[in-house]
Amino acid sequence: MPIADKMVKMVESASMIRKMFEEGIRMKEKYGADQVFDFSLGNPDVPPPAVVNDTLIRLISNPATSHGYMPNTGFPHVRKAVADYLNQEYNAGLTPDLIVMTVGAAGALNDILRALMNPGEDILVPAPYFVGYHQYAFVAGANLKPAASLPDFHLDLPALEKAVTADTRVMLINSPNNPTGVVYHKQELMALGKILDAAAKNSGNASIWFPTSPTGRSPMGWRCPACLTSIPTPLC
C-alpha cells in the first residue's frame, strides 16, 4: 500500500542513523566488537548501576506492582520523586502537578510540540543540532529554523536575535549540546532568555524555551549550568 507523498522523503531521511547503527552491529559481528567504535546512537557503553537492576527485580517481584494502565501523567509518587529531586538539586520550585512522565525525550518532544505549535510556526534551534528535530517539527506541522553558532559552537546571540520573528513559538536547546558537546555558559543562556522575552513582548506571541536536557548533568556525572534554572521561562 503506498504511503502519503509527504512521508516518503521524511522516512528516507529519518532512517539514516538507524542504518548506521545496524551497520555497526553487522561490522561488530564480522570484525569483532573490540574493533568497531559505534558513534551512531547514544547507547551507554557501561552497565547500569547494580541498584537499578536490583530495584527493577524487586518491583516486578512485588505482587502489588501494577502492570496495567496508569494515570496519563504518570504515577503520583513517581512525579513527586522527580519534583523532589529537581528541587533538592537545583532549587527549581517544582510541584508534582508540573511533572509529566513520558517514554523518553522523543515522546516528550513530540507531545509538547504538537500541543504548543500552530501550523507554520517556527521552532528555533542553534546549529548544529540533533537531526531528529526535523522529524519532530514535521509531525507538529512546524518549521525548523536553524541559527548559526560561533566557531567554538557557543551561542551566536546576534544571529539568534535576528532569527527570532513573530512566528517563533519554541526554541529547543540542550547543554551539553547534542551533537557538539559544548557546554553553554550561564551568562549566554540568560542573555538568550532576555532576547526571547523581549521578542515575545514585541510580537505578542509567547516564545517558549524547551531545554531538552534541563538539569545540566553530563553522562559522566559532572555538572554544567542547568537550563532549568538559567533561563527565565523554561518548559522542560
CATH of the domain at 206: 3.40.640.10
Cell of 11: 522516512
Task: Report d(CA 194, CA 197) in Å as an integer.
Answer: 5
Question: Tens digit of pLDDT for each residue in 48-102?
Answer: 899 999 999 998 898 887 778 889 999 999 999 999 988 888 888 889 999 999 9
Q: Is 189 part of any domain?
A: yes
Q: Is 199 part of any domain?
A: yes
Task: Report d(CA 59, CA 66) in Å as an integer.
Answer: 9
Question: Which of 49, 97, 100 has the alpha carbon at shortest distance from 73?
Answer: 100
DSSP 3-42: PPHHHHHHHHHHTHHHHHHHHHHHHHHHH-GGG----SS-
Cell of 218: 553530563
Q: Is 117 part of any domain?
A: yes
Sheet bearing 168-174, strands edge to edge? 143-147, 122-126, 168-174, 208-213
Q: Is 61 part of any domain?
A: no
**pLDDT number for residue 86:** 86
Q: How many domains does the chain have?
A: 1
Q: Is 207 part of any domain?
A: yes
**pLDDT number for residue 91:** 82
**pLDDT number for residue 162:** 93
140 pLDDT more than 60: yes
> How far is the first Cα of the chain from the last one, in angstroms, to the nearest whole number?
39
Kind plus residue range of the DSSP H or E element containing 79: helix 76-90
**pLDDT number for residue 58:** 93
193 pLDDT more than 60: yes
SS3 229: helix
**pLDDT number for residue 174:** 85
Q: Is 222 part of any domain?
A: yes
Q: 97 — phi, psi (to 5°)? A: -70, -10
- C-alpha atoms less than 13 angstroms from C-alpha of 226 in its C-beta half-sphere: 16
Task: Report d(CA 94, CA 191) in Å as an integer.
Answer: 23
Q: Is 45 part of any domain?
A: no
**pLDDT number for residue 234:** 54
Q: Is 150 part of any domain?
A: yes
Query: Domain range spanning residue 158?
Result: 102-230
The answer to whether the CB of 171 falls within 8 A of the CB of 211 is no
Task: Report d(CA 120, CA 140) in Å as an integer.
Answer: 9
Least confident of 119-133, 149-163, 193-207: 193-207
